């Protein structure tokens, strides 16, 4: 009971131990990226803008998310449409996933719906149900993801009227 509910931040004069990242520190070298983490037991609905990295440990429902990186942790659920450079799925993605770079489906991962990616890796046990399209350099131009999302949004607004 004498324990504080949140870790206390290090004092400004405290020296960092070499090779040890403080809690919450980025795991990469270079400038910090804008990261949104939806923790276990948390549900979020709506759109996400300007996040470079989205980590889903809980549940996210969205009509459109654009980010650089998507990580759906084991037990996490993403429903909706997302366009990213790279994605790693250890939980469930149900909807439309566009990955301009690498898509990795972990052994516990499930992808349900439609996916487009340039590179694909599926671990033994990973599941893909639906439509999968590989992006190639010679692909014919199609409406952009944003144009398709805007058209869908306009359709939803008309239906609500």
Higher pLDDT, 143 or 153: 153
Pair of tokens at residue 63: 């009509």
Mean pLDDT, rounded, for 96-120: 95
User: E strand or H helix at 147, and its extent?
Assistant: helix 145-160
pLDDT tens-digit series, residues 92-104: 999 999 999 999 9
pLDDT at 53 over 70: yes
Lowest mean pLDDT among 115-119, 126-130, 142-146: 142-146
Mean pLDDT, rounded, for 137-150: 57
The closest of 101, 66, 104 to 83, measured between CA atoms, is 66
Name the pLDDT band for 112 (thresholds 50, 70, 90): very high
């Amino acid at each position: 009971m004498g324990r504080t509910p949140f870790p206390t931040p290090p004092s400004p004069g405290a020296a960092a131990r070499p090779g040890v990242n403080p809690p919450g520190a980025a795991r990469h070298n270079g400038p910090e990226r804008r990261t949104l983490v939806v923790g276990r037991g948390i549900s979020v609905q709506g759109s996400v803008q300007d996040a470079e990295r989205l980590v889903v440990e809980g549940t996210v429902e969205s009509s459109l998310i654009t980010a650089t990186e998507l990580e759906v942790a084991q037990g996490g659920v993403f429903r909706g449409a997302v366009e990213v450079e790279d994605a790693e799925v250890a939980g469930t993605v149900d909807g439309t996933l566009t990955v301009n770079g690498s898509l990795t489906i972990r052994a516990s991962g499930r992808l349900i719906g439609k996916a487009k990616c340039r590179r694909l890796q599926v671990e033994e046990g990973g599941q893909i149900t639906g439509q999968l399209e590989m992006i190639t350099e010679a692909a014919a131009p199609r409406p952009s993801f944003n144009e398709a999302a805007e058209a869908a949004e306009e359709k939803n607004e008309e239906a609500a009227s």
